[in-house]
Amino acid sequence: MKKVVVGMSGGVDSSVAAVLLKEQGYEVIGLFMRNWDSSINNDFLGNPNLNNNICPQEQDYNDAKAVCDKLGIPLYRVDFIKEYWDDVFTYFLDELKKGRTPNPDIMCNKYIKFDLFVKEAKKLGADFIATGHYAKILNGRLMRSHELNKDQTYFLSQVNQKQLENVLFPLGDIKDKSEVRAIAQKYGLITARKKDSTGICFIGERNFKSFLKNYLPNMKGKIVDIETNKVLGEHNGLMYYTIGQRRGLDIGGSKDKLFVVGKNLKDNILYVCEGENNDYLYSDSAILEDINFNCSERPLECTAKFRYRANDVKIKLEYLENGNILVRYNNVKAVTPGQACVFYDNEFCLGGGIVKEVRKNDKKLWYLL
């Protein structure tokens, strides 16, 4: 009997992943990761859980334990608090300091779930590892899940081909999230009605502005209309804003809605412009760095997503001598430095890169970092 170590998070998705694997005849072992400690990590401002009788991580562990006990499978526990801080959270803060828009979930998958977790699973004798991600593996290749609305291949774009070996995604063929909850209900699992986790990977919901004050200085500066150069107000710190953002600017008096279109890190200026379709929000190419392919293909044309919930857009790829990639596309809105650009060939996810520079007409946009 093949042994599978499942990443048990204390949520319904990983719970049902364990159920499905057990139904398929695997020997299933649970492994719970604790990656964040609020007291050790100075997580006080913006933390809504400080007055709880039990911290969310411990509650998640208790729920995972209850699920494993119900299913008759063992549960082990491992702490990656230091590693998460060093490899994921430090990256997150460094990117914010640069005024960029990072995605810590992507780096969490790369460095924690499909690296450190795998090493721990092998110590337990794992033939395979499994998670509750909505994704599929076909002949060693990463594919979108059947449930496209929940598909999480975007967050797996920095996981390489080697890391995807001997990985199972039991939820890949699930048709709808309600099906997951129905399975959990059928087995009488405590997580059946548990709310999905949101917020930063392994940290959870936080008041973002207050939370960041724990780690980064709050540097106020001018909000400037990029067309008139008129000062419209004051921002609370460039790290709190991303390109295309409309809410939270606290500026009145404009005829049309104002949108964030750029940042000047040197002078601490946040640029805005009126109208959701203003020309400053659009670009036609970008340079990507930190390239990762999880397959042997090196396409010249494919599609890509620049944000998790965005639609696919057609792109052309030019491979640069320094290892970066220039991608060309047709007038895409709010492409932002620090974001992931994830490549797709129909249902297959090929990998991706991180946006380093955004361009229009072969020139770097001066108002973006």
Q: Which residues are catalytic?
A: 108, 201
Backbone CA torsion sign across 260, 262, 265, 268: negative
Measure Cα distances from 127 to 26, 167, 191, 300, 366 in Å: 10, 9, 27, 36, 51
The Cα 105–Cα 108 span in angstroms is: 5
Backbone CA torsion sign across 242, 243, 244, 249? positive
Query: Residue 15 phi/psi, 5° resolution?
Result: -60, -45
Please tell me whether residue 205 adopts helix, strand or coil conformation: coil
DSSP code per residue over 217-266: ----EEEEETTT--EEEEES-GGG--TT--TT------SS-EEEEEEETT
**Residue 209 CA neighbour count, 13 Å, CB half:** 10
Token representation of residue 227: 């067309």
- Provide CB contacts within 8 A for 130, sequence distance 6+: 4, 5, 6, 7, 17, 18, 21, 167, 168, 169, 170
Measure the CA–CA gap between 137 and 123, rounded to whole angstroms.
Answer: 23
- The structure tokens listed for 86 are 């060093």
- Rounded Cα distance between 137 and 165, Å, is 9
How many Cβ atoms are within 10 Å of 218's Cβ, its own excluded? 12
Spatial distance between the Cα atoms of 369 and 360, rounded to a whole number of angstroms: 14
φ/ψ of 332, rounded to 5, equals: -100, 145
